[in-house]
């Protein structure tokens, strides 16, 4: 039985479509949705004049995540589906897999592609989640 559905979003059209599909599943199974965004720290952190590395603050992470989740939800009719919004800092695939270990029954993710040829390939985050997820994964184009 599907009771909790996780949707990972980067606010792309693929992840917005994944959320729309997840909402339909949630309605059919009377399930709740956990919508998450993983904020990745910059790969190159440069020190400021005091020698401190410039990484996103907790406030910046929360604001970035809020903006992404707001953009993901914009125009999508959630109906009566309960939704929890969550922002996580870390490496996307690892953070998503960690979340899946918390009583998630299904993960719905968008495939990621750029251009007509690359769009047939699944993105690296989605590939890793597919390979390591402890629950079913639905990949939406």
Give the DSSP per-residue string, the chain.
Answer: ---EEEEE--SSHHHHHHHHHHHHHHHHHT-EEEEEEEEPPPSSPPB-TTS-B----HHHHHHHHHHHHHHHHTT---TT--EEEEEEES-HHHHHHHHHTTT--EEEEE----HHHHTTSPPHHHHHHHHH-SS-EEEE-
Q: What pLDDT, on a 0 to 100 scale, did the predictor assign at position 121?
A: 45
C-alpha span between 8 and 92 (Å, rounded): 9
Place of tokens 């989605």: 126
CA 100 to chain centroid? 11
Q: For the chain, 141 residues long, give each residue's pLDDT as a single digit of tens.
A: 899 999 999 988 999 999 999 999 999 999 999 999 998 876 555 666 666 666 778 888 899 899 999 999 999 999 999 999 999 998 889 999 999 998 999 999 998 733 344 444 457 888 899 999 999 999 998
Domain ranges of the chain: 4-42+53-140
Q: What pLDDT, on a 0 to 100 scale, did the predictor assign at position 57?
A: 81
Q: What pLDDT, on a 0 to 100 scale, did the predictor assign at position 50?
A: 64
Q: What pLDDT, on a 0 to 100 scale, did the predictor assign at position 53?
A: 64
Homologous superfamily of 4-42+53-140: HUPs (3.40.50.620)
Q: What pLDDT, on a 0 to 100 scale, did the predictor assign at position 54?
A: 66
Q: What pLDDT, on a 0 to 100 scale, did the predictor assign at position 111?
A: 85
Nearest to 55 by CA among 67, 64, 69, 43: 43
């Amino acid at each position: 039985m599907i009771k909790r559905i996780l949707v990972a979003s980067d606010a792309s059209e693929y992840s917005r479509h994944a959320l729309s599909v997840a909402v339909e599943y949630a309605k059919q199974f009377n399930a709740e949705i956990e919508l998450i965004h993983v904020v990745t720290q910059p790969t190159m952190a440069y020190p400021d004049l005091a020698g401190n590395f410039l990484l996103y603050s907790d406030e910046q992470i929360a604001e970035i995540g809020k903006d992404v989740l707001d953009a993901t939800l914009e125009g999508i009719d959630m109906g009566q589906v309960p939704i929890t919004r969550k922002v996580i800092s870390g490496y996307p695939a690892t953070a998503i897999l960690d979340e899946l270990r918390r009583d998630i029954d299904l993960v719905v993710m968008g495939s990621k592609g750029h251009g007509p040829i690359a769009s047939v390939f699944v993105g690296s985050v989605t590939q890793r989640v597919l390979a390591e997820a402890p629950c079913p994964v639905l990949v939406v184009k």
